[in-house]
A and B are shown apart, each in its own frame.
Chain A
Amino acid sequence: SAVISQKPSRDICQRGTSLTIQCQVDSQVTMMFWYRQQPGQSLTLIATANQGSEATYESGFVIDKFPISRPNLTFSTLTVSNLSPEDSSIYLCSAPWGAGTEAFFGQGTRLTVV
Protein backbone atom coordinates (compact mmCIF):
# COMPACT_ATOMS: atom_id res chain seq x y z
CA SER A 1 0.00 0.00 0.00
CA ALA A 2 0.97 3.65 -0.16
CA VAL A 3 0.64 6.50 2.29
CA ILE A 4 0.06 9.97 0.96
CA SER A 5 0.73 12.96 3.18
CA GLN A 6 -1.02 16.10 2.05
CA LYS A 7 -0.60 19.56 3.48
CA PRO A 8 -1.92 21.91 4.51
CA SER A 9 -5.03 20.18 5.80
CA ARG A 10 -6.91 23.46 5.66
CA ASP A 11 -6.32 27.12 4.96
CA ILE A 12 -8.19 30.38 4.74
CA CYS A 13 -6.87 32.65 2.01
CA GLN A 14 -7.59 36.13 0.77
CA ARG A 15 -9.00 36.52 -2.70
CA GLY A 16 -6.36 37.26 -5.30
CA THR A 17 -3.68 35.26 -3.51
CA SER A 18 -2.52 31.71 -4.27
CA LEU A 19 -2.30 28.50 -2.28
CA THR A 20 0.14 25.70 -2.94
CA ILE A 21 -0.81 22.22 -1.78
CA GLN A 22 1.84 19.56 -1.35
CA CYS A 23 1.54 15.80 -1.57
CA GLN A 24 4.25 13.39 -0.52
CA VAL A 25 3.97 9.68 -1.27
CA ASP A 26 5.97 7.15 0.72
CA SER A 27 6.66 5.11 -2.43
CA GLN A 28 7.51 5.93 -6.01
CA VAL A 29 4.44 6.26 -8.19
CA THR A 30 4.21 6.99 -11.89
CA MET A 31 0.98 8.96 -11.89
CA MET A 32 -0.56 11.34 -9.44
CA PHE A 33 -3.99 12.86 -9.72
CA TRP A 34 -5.41 16.08 -8.37
CA TYR A 35 -9.12 16.37 -7.61
CA ARG A 36 -11.50 19.03 -6.43
CA GLN A 37 -14.42 18.09 -4.23
CA GLN A 38 -17.13 20.55 -3.36
CA PRO A 39 -18.64 19.83 0.09
CA GLY A 40 -21.19 17.07 -0.16
CA GLN A 41 -20.33 16.33 -3.76
CA SER A 42 -18.23 13.96 -5.78
CA LEU A 43 -14.65 14.25 -6.91
CA THR A 44 -13.82 16.11 -10.10
CA LEU A 45 -10.49 15.37 -11.73
CA ILE A 46 -8.41 18.48 -12.27
CA ALA A 47 -5.31 17.00 -13.85
CA THR A 48 -2.98 14.03 -14.07
CA ALA A 49 0.65 14.64 -13.18
CA ASN A 50 3.41 12.40 -14.49
CA GLN A 51 7.01 12.88 -13.52
CA GLY A 52 9.09 14.54 -16.19
CA SER A 53 6.23 15.76 -18.34
CA GLU A 54 3.57 18.44 -18.40
CA ALA A 55 0.44 17.72 -16.45
CA THR A 56 -2.63 16.75 -18.44
CA TYR A 57 -5.62 18.94 -17.57
CA GLU A 58 -9.27 18.02 -17.77
CA SER A 59 -11.84 20.12 -19.52
CA GLY A 60 -12.54 23.27 -17.58
CA PHE A 61 -9.18 23.38 -15.84
CA VAL A 62 -6.19 25.32 -17.16
CA ILE A 63 -2.53 25.42 -16.24
CA ASP A 64 -2.51 29.14 -15.52
CA LYS A 65 -5.11 28.69 -12.79
CA PHE A 66 -3.90 25.32 -11.48
CA PRO A 67 -0.16 24.98 -12.11
CA ILE A 68 1.20 21.59 -11.09
CA SER A 69 4.72 20.46 -10.38
CA ARG A 70 5.96 16.86 -10.34
CA PRO A 71 9.71 17.04 -9.68
CA ASN A 72 10.12 13.36 -8.79
CA LEU A 73 8.22 10.12 -8.35
CA THR A 74 7.19 10.78 -4.74
CA PHE A 75 6.11 14.42 -4.71
CA SER A 76 3.70 16.81 -6.40
CA THR A 77 2.26 20.25 -5.78
CA LEU A 78 -0.92 21.91 -6.95
CA THR A 79 -1.20 25.68 -6.84
CA VAL A 80 -4.57 27.34 -6.98
CA SER A 81 -3.87 30.82 -8.33
CA ASN A 82 -5.68 34.15 -8.20
CA LEU A 83 -8.12 32.83 -5.64
CA SER A 84 -11.79 33.72 -5.66
CA PRO A 85 -14.56 32.52 -3.34
CA GLU A 86 -15.60 30.04 -6.05
CA ASP A 87 -12.31 28.22 -5.45
CA SER A 88 -13.41 27.33 -1.92
CA SER A 89 -13.42 23.56 -1.95
CA ILE A 90 -11.57 20.45 -0.85
CA TYR A 91 -8.57 19.52 -2.94
CA LEU A 92 -7.26 15.96 -2.94
CA CYS A 93 -4.23 14.25 -4.40
CA SER A 94 -4.23 10.61 -5.32
CA ALA A 95 -1.96 7.95 -6.74
CA PRO A 96 -2.81 4.53 -8.17
CA TRP A 97 -1.00 1.59 -6.66
CA GLY A 98 -0.07 -1.84 -7.91
CA ALA A 99 -2.20 -2.82 -10.89
CA GLY A 100 -3.66 0.63 -10.75
CA THR A 101 -7.19 -0.02 -9.61
CA GLU A 102 -6.55 0.86 -5.99
CA ALA A 103 -5.84 4.55 -5.74
CA PHE A 104 -4.69 6.02 -2.47
CA PHE A 105 -5.71 9.49 -1.44
CA GLY A 106 -4.30 12.22 0.71
CA GLN A 107 -6.55 13.45 3.50
CA GLY A 108 -7.49 16.54 1.53
CA THR A 109 -6.98 20.28 1.84
CA ARG A 110 -10.00 22.35 2.75
CA LEU A 111 -9.59 25.77 1.18
CA THR A 112 -11.75 28.72 2.13
CA VAL A 113 -11.36 31.94 0.16
CA VAL A 114 -12.54 35.12 1.84
Chain B
Amino acid sequence: GESVGLHLPTLSVQEGDNSIINCAYSNSASDYFIWYKQESGKGPQFIIDIRSNMDKRQGQRVTVLLNKTVKHLSLQIAATQPGDSAVYFCAEISMGSGTYKYIFGTGTRLKVLA
Protein backbone atom coordinates (compact mmCIF):
# COMPACT_ATOMS: atom_id res chain seq x y z
CA GLY B 1 0.00 0.00 0.00
CA GLU B 2 0.92 3.63 -0.03
CA SER B 3 3.30 4.68 2.67
CA VAL B 4 5.47 7.50 3.81
CA GLY B 5 8.47 6.53 5.88
CA LEU B 6 11.65 7.96 7.30
CA HIS B 7 15.26 6.81 7.21
CA LEU B 8 16.31 7.82 10.71
CA PRO B 9 14.24 7.51 13.85
CA THR B 10 16.53 9.75 15.98
CA LEU B 11 18.83 12.55 15.00
CA SER B 12 21.17 14.31 17.42
CA VAL B 13 22.80 17.55 16.35
CA GLN B 14 24.92 20.16 18.04
CA GLU B 15 23.32 23.51 18.68
CA GLY B 16 24.16 25.84 15.83
CA ASP B 17 24.73 23.07 13.32
CA ASN B 18 22.41 22.37 10.42
CA SER B 19 19.95 19.48 10.64
CA ILE B 20 18.72 17.34 7.79
CA ILE B 21 15.71 15.10 8.29
CA ASN B 22 14.84 12.68 5.53
CA CYS B 23 11.68 11.00 4.35
CA ALA B 24 10.86 8.48 1.65
CA TYR B 25 7.45 8.27 0.07
CA SER B 26 5.85 5.81 -2.29
CA ASN B 27 2.83 7.58 -3.77
CA SER B 28 4.10 9.54 -6.74
CA ALA B 29 0.58 10.91 -7.31
CA SER B 30 0.55 12.97 -4.11
CA ASP B 31 -0.17 16.65 -4.65
CA TYR B 32 1.69 18.18 -1.73
CA PHE B 33 4.28 17.17 0.82
CA ILE B 34 4.40 18.72 4.25
CA TRP B 35 6.60 18.79 7.29
CA TYR B 36 5.13 18.94 10.77
CA LYS B 37 6.81 19.47 14.13
CA GLN B 38 5.39 17.89 17.24
CA GLU B 39 6.57 18.85 20.69
CA SER B 40 5.87 16.67 23.66
CA GLY B 41 2.25 16.82 24.77
CA LYS B 42 1.13 18.92 21.82
CA GLY B 43 -0.48 18.40 18.49
CA PRO B 44 1.63 18.63 15.31
CA GLN B 45 2.41 22.09 14.00
CA PHE B 46 2.77 22.93 10.33
CA ILE B 47 6.29 23.91 9.30
CA ILE B 48 6.41 24.08 5.53
CA ASP B 49 4.88 22.47 2.49
CA ILE B 50 5.96 21.90 -1.08
CA ARG B 51 3.86 21.28 -4.11
CA SER B 52 4.63 18.17 -6.10
CA ASN B 53 5.73 20.19 -9.15
CA MET B 54 8.45 21.98 -7.18
CA ASP B 55 11.83 20.72 -6.03
CA LYS B 56 12.75 23.27 -3.41
CA ARG B 57 11.04 25.68 -1.09
CA GLN B 58 12.53 27.88 1.60
CA GLY B 59 11.04 29.27 4.75
CA GLN B 60 12.47 30.90 7.82
CA ARG B 61 15.55 28.77 8.71
CA VAL B 62 13.98 25.78 6.96
CA THR B 63 14.27 24.41 3.46
CA VAL B 64 12.35 21.50 2.01
CA LEU B 65 13.75 19.56 -0.91
CA LEU B 66 11.74 17.20 -3.05
CA ASN B 67 13.38 14.65 -5.31
CA LYS B 68 10.66 12.97 -7.29
CA THR B 69 13.08 10.75 -9.17
CA VAL B 70 13.91 8.81 -6.02
CA LYS B 71 10.75 9.76 -4.11
CA HIS B 72 12.66 11.49 -1.38
CA LEU B 73 11.79 14.48 0.77
CA SER B 74 14.07 16.29 3.18
CA LEU B 75 13.81 19.07 5.72
CA GLN B 76 16.85 21.18 6.38
CA ILE B 77 16.97 23.31 9.50
CA ALA B 78 19.69 25.94 9.59
CA ALA B 79 21.48 26.87 12.81
CA THR B 80 19.57 24.38 14.90
CA GLN B 81 18.37 25.71 18.22
CA PRO B 82 17.27 23.98 21.43
CA GLY B 83 13.69 24.93 20.62
CA ASP B 84 13.91 22.78 17.50
CA SER B 85 14.01 19.64 19.63
CA ALA B 86 10.86 17.74 18.72
CA VAL B 87 9.56 14.93 16.57
CA TYR B 88 9.29 15.79 12.89
CA PHE B 89 6.81 14.12 10.58
CA CYS B 90 6.59 14.27 6.86
CA ALA B 91 3.16 13.89 5.34
CA GLU B 92 1.77 13.68 1.86
CA ILE B 93 -1.56 14.98 0.70
CA SER B 94 -3.71 13.59 -2.03
CA MET B 95 -6.46 15.90 -3.22
CA GLY B 96 -9.46 14.91 -5.23
CA SER B 97 -13.09 15.91 -5.59
CA GLY B 98 -12.74 18.54 -2.89
CA THR B 99 -11.40 16.10 -0.34
CA TYR B 100 -7.99 15.81 1.22
CA LYS B 101 -6.20 12.78 2.53
CA TYR B 102 -3.11 13.17 4.68
CA ILE B 103 -0.72 10.26 5.18
CA PHE B 104 1.90 10.73 7.86
CA GLY B 105 5.35 9.21 7.96
CA THR B 106 6.95 7.42 10.87
CA GLY B 107 8.62 10.44 12.47
CA THR B 108 12.16 11.47 13.41
CA ARG B 109 13.08 12.70 16.86
CA LEU B 110 15.49 15.61 16.68
CA LYS B 111 17.66 16.17 19.75
CA VAL B 112 19.64 19.37 19.93
CA LEU B 113 22.76 19.10 22.06
CA ALA B 114 23.98 22.16 23.92
Contact = CB atoms under 8 A, between A and B. Distances in A.
Interface of A: 4, 6, 30-31, 33, 35, 41-45, 48, 92, 94, 96, 100-108
Contacts of A41: 106-107
Contact of B46 (A6, A45, A103, A108): A103
B49 A102 contact: yes
Interface of B: 32, 34, 41-46, 49, 89, 93, 95, 98-107
Q: Chain B CB within 10 Å — which of A33, A42, A102, A103 has the most?
A: A42
B107 A42 contact: yes
A42 B106 contact: yes
A38 to B, nearest CB: 11
Contact of A42 (B100, B101, B104): B104
